[in-house]
A and B are shown apart, each in its own frame.
Chain A
């Protein structure tokens, strides 16, 4: 197990370097950052040259990347155009997005798995068909549609929740946005659980559990679910990164000042330090989440052993 973890961590290094360099390169392709810094005014050539020199922008791209990375590892993500440290922006934005993602995942697990088990145990009946149709509808609706519709219905028409989130983003205000972020994944979790449960309910070990005289509830929770949830846990784990990235749209809709909001602003204003910094952290989150899922897989299924 230990050797496996070390190997996986080592494998992360090229992935990390590759993906961050790609981001670095793409942000560079957005245009001249110095021009962006000056906005509509044309910069004074001498000043521009000085800034370029200070920021290593006159060096080749790979040198700039190395310089950036060496600073990053010392915890310096640079300064945004408004003079704020990128690390400060992160300290404000990340907790909000993490909270939003947690709400979304909690929602996926509670509702998605429950619905999946209910329909999986009643395959082919009315409950099952209804759930299948509903999840199909949810999967087909893009987040920006469901986000605006739910915001309008719950926030404006029925006035049950606040349609926008205040800067501190307290948990109760994040409930609706969390639902929006997790909605599509919820539908996938439901379907995945349903298929897995329906498949496992006919398994021999379930029949054994029945023959042992175990109560129905225990058969479902101890025997059926332990097996059926393995693919679901894998899905939820790998989806964490996707949820954080996907929060970009939802954070725009509900005016949440999280990672998505900062990224959007950064791209809009060609604010390269912000964009590269946030994406770098996203890449790390994604890689670590994937590793944890793979390790969790071995915990859930003892037949899988990593050497």
Chain B
């Protein structure tokens, strides 16, 4: 993991003025039979080329849905983007036509999914699944696409790539499968990669290797990376910035080291306190009390107030805006100063 902790080498070409991806006030809802679930409620974040943004949150916090909305692969119905902008290299993707949008996917922004076994097609050989990126987006012949597939597999260090290119996903180990997923995302050297829990389904030892590979390729190609995870351990090593999500909103954003040192939102603090630590062996593990809110009935005021140890009257009434805590830091808590200074 040394590679990632070194100062990031600046690319030779000057970076474009604006961020690579700028999500502004994104809203997504799911219209279900028994009501409307407000999955994303005004999320804004941005990623620059070469930067890694970690999006942290419990299941149901809207982190994956935000990613799907950015990619344009929301299940619709029932999911709909109801507001906001997704500016990618200066263009608002939400205003593009279906065909234009398709050409962005895979070629300019790619996605890595959590469970490679179900995310890869079980009845198509990995070579064909990798090669079709070149066939579809580059118009290559099947033969030259297959050659490129072997190169890709070698690049993500799959042993005996030449002989394994015709194998099927179930014939690979979990780590190797995730490497194939990564290879598929890298195929056309996109500018942005969204990795949705890329290591959750893997063994701890394999997790580190896969994250290392991902970080290495990211630096090589100077890509922006959005790393969606609930694993704080993974984040600390790789991310530059962290955005913590709760009930479809960002509750805190900060550079990675600052957030670990002193969180400015009680929810972040709760997450950090619930990491098991070796020096606290034998003691009861801290857990945030209560459950994440039902997205059909998000609590009034601050959505975290029913679970918050700091909640007061104002929290039940007024929804906290994102207060600027420091340059590059923000927290959606009325009492961020108390939280920040509390030890």
Contact = CB atoms under 8 A, between A and B. Distances in A.
Contacts of B137: 213
Contacts of A63: none
Interface string A289-307: 0000000000011110000
A74 interface: no
Interface residues of B, number: 28
A207 B102 CA distance: 13
Interface string A104-148: 000000000000000000000000000000000000000000000
Closest CB pairs A-B (n = 8): A213-B106, A213-B105, A204-B118, A205-B121, A212-B106, A211-B111, A302-B168, A204-B119
B323 to A, nearest CB: 35
A207 B111 CA distance: 10
Contacts of B184: 208, 212
A203 interface: yes
Most chain B beta-carbon contacts within 10 A, residue among A210, A213, A230: A213
A214 B101 CA distance: 11
A223 B124 contact: yes
B96 interface: no
A209 B120 CA distance: 9
5 contacts: A211-B111, A212-B133, A212-B184, A213-B102, A222-B124
Contacts of A302: 122-123, 125, 168, 170
A301 B121 contact: no
Interface string B55-78: 000000000000000010101000
Interface string A212-236: 1111001000110011001000000
A194 to B, nearest CB: 18
Given A211-B106, A212-B132, A303-B122, 18 more contacts: A204-B113, A205-B119, A205-B121, A208-B184, A209-B121, A211-B73, A211-B105, A212-B110, A212-B136, A213-B102, A222-B124, A223-B124, A226-B123, A227-B121, A300-B123, A301-B123, A302-B123, A302-B170
Contacts of A41: none
A226 B121 contact: yes
Interface in B147-173: 168, 170
Contacts of B168: 302-303
A218 B168 CA distance: 19
B121 A213 contact: no
A202 interface: yes
A214 B106 contact: yes
A124 B61 CA distance: 29
B54 interface: no
Nearest to B136: A214
Nearest to A227: B123
Interface in A187-204: 202-204
Interface in B110-148: 110-111, 113, 115, 118-125, 132-133, 136-137
Contacts of B73: 207, 210-211
Interface of A: 202-205, 207-215, 218, 222-223, 226-227, 230, 300-303
A222 B104 CA distance: 21
B132 A213 contact: no
B103 interface: yes
Contacts of A209: 121
B77 to A, nearest CB: 10
B31 to A, nearest CB: 14
Given A210-B73, A211-B111, A212-B132, A205 B122 contact: yes
A303 B169 CA distance: 9
Given A213-B107, A215-B136, A303-B168, A208 B102 contact: no
A207 B170 CA distance: 18
B106 A202 contact: no
A211 B123 contact: no
Contacts of B103: 213
Nearest to A300: B123
B110 A211 contact: yes
Contacts of A211: 71, 73, 105-106, 110-111, 113
Contacts of A215: 102, 136
Nearest to B102: A213
Nearest to B184: A212
Nearest to A201: B75
Contacts of B120: 205, 208
A211 B114 CA distance: 13
Contacts of B105: 210-213
Most chain A beta-carbon contacts within 10 A, residue among B107, B113, B115, B123: B123
B170 A303 contact: yes
A207 B113 contact: yes
Most chain B beta-carbon contacts within 10 A, residue among A203, A209, A301, A302: A302
Contacts of A226: 121, 123-124
A298 to B, nearest CB: 11
Contacts of A301: 122-123
A271 B313 CA distance: 96
A3 to B, nearest CB: 20
Contact of A208 (B75, B113, B125, B170): B113
Contact of A204 (B102, B115, B123): B115
A14 to B, nearest CB: 34
